[in-house]
Chains A and B, each alone.
Chain A
Amino acid sequence: MDWDALRVSLRLGAGTLAVLLPCGIWFGRVLAIRQFRGKSLVEALVTVPLVLPPTVLGFYLLVAFGARSPLGQAFQTLVGQSLPFSFQGLLLASAIANIPFVVQPIQRGFEAITSDVRDAAACCGLTPWQRFLRIEVPLAWPGILTAAILTFAHTLGEFGVVLMVGGNLPGQTRTLSVAIYDRMQAFDDRSAGIMAATLLVIAVATLMLTTTLSRQVSPRRG
């Protein structure tokens, strides 16, 4: 069992959540409530990472931020670190790949709130922030929770883009899913088997958690 890899995986999952969840709540709400021109294009762009092979994302990230690209060199001099083959680069890739997993459930959650409820809250004299925190977020909670759990689980399972952009560096970019591949290639089936079983258990557990929690949270609020 590669504990370093498990740690990287969990950090990546938590980091992706920390980056994406606030943006996702804001953006999902905008998409649910506002009508604007080009909305269908925006919605399509949000969904694109779902159908795009990870190699496409990996390719663009490497070409745009690699040590040989001007952008990558500028980033290197500014931050003193390259984006590909670093945890930060992995986080960026993972955040992009997970956009649909965050935005869509949250958007559905906010869409389920009728405008009557919002109007009533406004009539009661609640400020926009109070309305958002006390009325909308609790009502959209099942969607937000689903988004969070799906994103976390999906990040743990990410493979292609991690291998391409991360490069299998122990302790930095070698996640559990990449470590399984690495151990297979090193003829170490035992470790690979243990890690594969670990990921399987985590995946089943998270999905069970989602269904249980959403059942607990949703019934009276619909």
Chain B
Amino acid sequence: MPRRALRSLVFVAIVIVAFWAGVAAQRPPTIAAAANLNFALNEIKDRFVRERGTPVEIVFGASGTLTRQIQDGAPFELFLAADEAFTSRLTVAGLTRDAGVVYALGRLVVFAPRGSPLTVDPRLDGLARLVKAGKGALPGGGKFAIANPDVAPYGEAAEAVLQKHGLWDDLRPQLVLGDSIAQAAQFATTGNAIGGLLAYSLVVEPGFAQRGTYALIPDSDHLPLRQRMVLLKRASPTATQFYNYLQGQTAREIFRKNGYGVPPVAEPR
């Protein structure tokens, strides 16, 4: 019936206008953060918001993906990377206020979910045994999770560790690459992979304690994960406040509690 149809069209138009009108509210500053910070940074943010009363919005992703987005014009005001290479790329491109500051030192763990045939140890002997026994293949056609080395510094570190132990070539066909370290952790902690090389900060979370076992990888086995943050040129006062807050005592304690090393106070700016 055309008339009824017309009426429904008018209804649709009203809905459209209503949604259009409800836009344009002022958004809090948006912060880009490496995925390994998922738990620690949310905790710090909650403290910051409680103390200062100004909200900030955090978007998590792989450092490389976020760098690319910032270069393409994404409206982030502060960027917390998982290493120094990506932030320095932005600094060289003239997109940041200054070279920024190292706020945390990342650590890698080998993780095995509950019921996995993998036993974890700092030297990756358990993994080497499995690879050797299966002539490269993992039991039950299993997969081993790391983050994509091209976009995620934790993936790059994982690759270095596997290379060092001579496992990279054999294990390569069995690797499943997460878009970010959080996705790699998702694969491993849900048991969809028999294990993985993950960020310590993600598995140290109390909620993960019963999901599996892990062992810290010596930080001499890979290039250090010196996590640097930079304020971007468009940073608002709130973003700057948060940047300073991240270097304060409260933030440093939360970082430490979440498995990060913290740099000695006042790293060069």
Contact = CB atoms under 8 A, between A and B. Distances in A.
Given A68-B71, A85-B73, A170-B57, A7 B19 contact: yes
Contacts of B60: 182, 185-186
Interface string A107-135: 00000000000000000000000000000
Interface in B1-55: 1-2, 5, 12, 15-16, 19-20, 22-23, 25, 27, 30, 35, 38
B2 A141 contact: yes
A169 B185 CA distance: 23
A171 B35 CA distance: 20
A36 interface: no
Contact of A66 (B20, B35, B72, B189): B72
Contacts of B35: 185
Interface stretch (A13-21, A40-48, A96-104): A13-21
A105 interface: no
A66 B59 contact: no
B74 interface: yes
Contact of B16 (A17, A67, A216): A17
Interface string A1-41: 00000010011001101100000000000000000000000
Contacts of A148: 12
Contacts of B186: 184-185, 187
Interface string A134-160: 000110010001001000000000000
Contact of B72 (A11, A68, A137, A186): A68
Nearest to B19: A11
A85 B57 contact: no
Interface string A61-95: 01000111000100010000010111100000000
A168 B61 contact: yes
B180 A171 contact: no
B74 A84 contact: yes
Nearest to A152: B12
Contacts of B27: 170-172
Nearest to B182: A185
Nearest to B181: A185
B213 to A, nearest CB: 18
B16 A85 contact: no
A62 B68 CA distance: 10
Given A185-B182, A186-B38, A169 B59 contact: yes
B87 interface: no
A167 interface: yes
B73 A66 contact: yes
A170 B20 CA distance: 17
A217 interface: yes
A179 to B, nearest CB: 11
Contacts of A84: 72-74
Given A85-B74, A138-B2, A185 B183 contact: yes
B75 interface: yes
Residue from A10, A11, A68, A168 having most chain B Cβ neighbours under 10 A? A168
B77 to A, nearest CB: 12
A217 B1 contact: yes
Interface of A: 7, 10-11, 14-15, 17-18, 62, 66-68, 72, 76, 82, 84-87, 137-138, 141, 145, 148, 167-172, 182, 184-187, 216-217
Given A171-B25, A185-B38, 4 more contacts: A138-B2, A141-B2, A182-B60, A185-B179
7 contacts: A66-B72, A82-B75, A169-B57, A170-B27, A170-B30, A171-B25, A184-B183
Interface of B: 1-2, 5, 12, 15-16, 19-20, 22-23, 25, 27, 30, 35, 38, 57, 59-61, 69, 71-75, 179-180, 182-183, 185-186, 189, 205, 207
